[in-house]
Amino acid sequence: MKRILGAGFAGIALTAMATACWAAKTPDVQEAPFGQTASGKAVQVYTLTNEHGIQARIMTYGGTLVSLKTPDRNGKLADIVLGFDSVKPYVEGVPYYGALIGRYANRIANGRFTLDGKTYQLPKNDGPNSLHGGDKGFDKRLWTAKPFETKEGPGLRLTYVSADGEEGYPGKLTTHVTYQLRNDNSLSIEYEATTTKPTPINLTNHSYFNLSGNPQNTILNDVLLINADKFTPINATMIPTGELQPVAGTPFDFRKPTVIGARINDNNEQLHYAHGYDDNWVLVKPHPDAMTTAAVLTDPGSGRVLEVKTTEPGIQFYTGNFQDGKPAGKGTVYNYRTGLTLETQHFPDSPNQPSFPSTILRPGQTFKSHTVFIFRTTK
């Protein structure tokens, strides 16, 4: 493994031997090979370590967060995201574990939308709909990576240029995603994009969290707060009806911290459609782009707490309803509901829903979005 950046040594490459001499708590970035894509291109993994020893590993395939080690209430580090030890299972196909999602996170009805009078057809890769950017979305693309370090902590700036017409979407879209593992114990993800033609855009990270650090445990005993008083109900193919429904009196009310498993099996049409939770919540915001708390997840066993802040208007909370134990990762299997996602986003199917906040990016504009995952513990 090559140490490529470190406090006071930005840009200086050091040998593996020198690396071993550094204390674990020196913030730095290391680079190592992680396998190859199907076409034989080399994939690199970057390990970011902040000054408290929190560690995030991100690979260039899919800009994927491969592992994230944070302390429990006793200071013991464990990996709180599900993932795999090499790029191989990702290339063979896993459902978006830790990946960056684009061009359009979540579903577009019938894989079709009309923009400025022209209709575009996208791949239908989720029943009748298009999901997470189509057959080969951003999660299956090779990103270029540039490590950096500021006083806030070590980081990685990823870039992917999506060709005009890729997966049916118009315009050449240049996307930069900047991960920074900050010394205030947070992982910041900043998204930026520009286009040559008007196009829909909705970017997120699809990490499956298991705060217990032991993926043998389900996520059902975790306690969740979602800062939303409405959600976007869906039809049987998981496309929003267009309505914003109050959460009050439903199993979707997480305005107070609530055990995830408490109502997941309620007799509720929305829960049946999604086979559990797999919905978009409408976040409470003082103004549309405000950076606000979207969710707070607590694992009572380990004491780990994850707070999610975002400038996005919505969050998809998904309870691993399609997890089936395959493939095995990091020496264990990922069974039903052993990971949950908190995907900050614009609402699903926005290109076909005139009442939802717009997801259209036009030439000359810069798309910007920012999400921060904050790590702390509770007694």
Q: Residues with catalytic annotation?
A: 206, 343
Name which of 131 and 283 has its Cβ closer to ligand GLA.
131
Name which of 153 and 320 has its Cβ closer to ligand GLA.
320
- Contact between 136 and ligand GLA by CB under 6 A: the answer reads no
Adjacent-strand bridge partners of 15? none
Q: How many residues make contact with ligand GLA (CB under 6 A)?
A: 8
Name which of 157 and 275 has its Cβ closer to ligand GLA.
275
- The residue at minimum Cβ distance from ligand GLA is 95
- Contact between 202 and ligand GLA by CB under 6 A: the answer reads no
Which one of 96, 113, 281, 373 is in contact with ligand GLA (CB under 6 A)?
96
**Smallest distance from ligand GLA to CB 207, Å:** 11
Bond preceding residue 327 cis, omega within 30 of 0: yes
Contact status, residue 169 vs residue 353, Cβ threshold 8 Å:
no
- Contact between 64 and ligand GLA by CB under 6 A: the answer reads no
Total residue count of the chain as it appears in this document:
379
Contact status, residue 353 vs residue 359, Cβ threshold 8 Å:
no
Q: What is the residue type of 180?
A: Q
State which H helix or E strand residue 273 sits in: helix 269-274
**Smallest distance from ligand GLA to CB 183, Å:** 31
Q: What is the residue type of 264?
A: I
Structure tokens at 316: 């998809």
- Contact between 218 and ligand GLA by CB under 6 A: the answer reads no
- Contact between 207 and ligand GLA by CB under 6 A: the answer reads no
Name 356's Cβ contacts closer than 8 Å, sequence gap at least 6. 232, 240, 242, 346, 347, 349, 350
Binding mask 252-291 for ligand GLA (x = CB under 6 A): --------------------------x-------------
How many of the other CB atoms lie within 10 Å of CB of 196?
12
Q: What are phi and psi of 139, to 5 degrees?
A: -70, -20
Binding residues for ligand GLA restricted to 301-340, rule: CB under 6 A? 316, 318, 322
**Smallest distance from ligand GLA to CB 341, Å:** 5
Measure the CA–CA gap between 10 and 148, rounded to whole angstroms: 7
Which residue shows structure tokens 């593996």? Answer: 16
Which residues are near ligand GLA by CB under 6 A? 95-96, 131, 278, 316, 318, 322, 341
